[in-house]
Amino acid sequence: MRAFFAVDLSDDLVDSVADAQAAFGNPAGLTLVDPEQAHVTLKFLGEIGAGDDRGEAADDTAPALADVIAAGERAVESAGVGPFECGVEGFGVFPSLDYISVVWAGVDAGSAELTALHEALEAETTALGVDPADHDFTPHVTLARMDDARGKKLVQEVVRERDPEIGRFEVDEVRLVQSTLTSDGPVYETVTSFGL
């Protein structure tokens, strides 16, 4: 299964996320993500073994699900982070305004706690053989993906000129999420969660 660790935005921020996305209109080449699936990814795992009845991975190169869950438990405990509040505001892009692949909203309050969780998850999962992150961790909520550059100028203008305050939410758990890619976009399903 394709999986990642994340924290979810609260349901009462769905409309605020949709309002922030609406600032971009509907430019060619930009695909908005479902605001009901808004989250902060802490660690993308890629493919992990769904496991057999003993929790062992069928694919020898992918870590077994049972091992990933155990790593998540250890990471959340070692991070030493209790429940906290996050604030989501402002726009940003990856990798740069000259070449946009992802449009996101930033995390202000709560970024230190999210970073501590990310670092603990990174250490535990790379020990299992998961590829380390190839970029610095920037806590964010993905709003859209840019498939081609047709709408780039509009996106650049909105990112430069607008600074929306999307809202605040409480974080009291980390989820291990299965991501299934479909023609209508990814479908997310919680595998398990880890309380803070």
What is the strand order of the sheet 185-195 is part of? Answer: 39-47, 2-8, 173-182, 185-195
Of 39, 74, 145, 168, which is the active-site residue? Answer: 39
- Report d(CA 75, CA 137) in Å as an integer: 16
Torsions phi, psi for 21 (to 5 deg): -65, -35
Residue 19, Cα to own-chain centre: how many angstroms?
Answer: 19
Residue pointed to by tokens 């780039």: 152
Active site residue 135: no
Of 43, 140, 152, 175, which is the active-site residue? Answer: 140
CA angle centred on 116, ends 145 and 68, rounded to 5°: 75
CB of 89 closer than 8 Å to CB of 108: yes
| Catalytically annotated residues | 39, 140
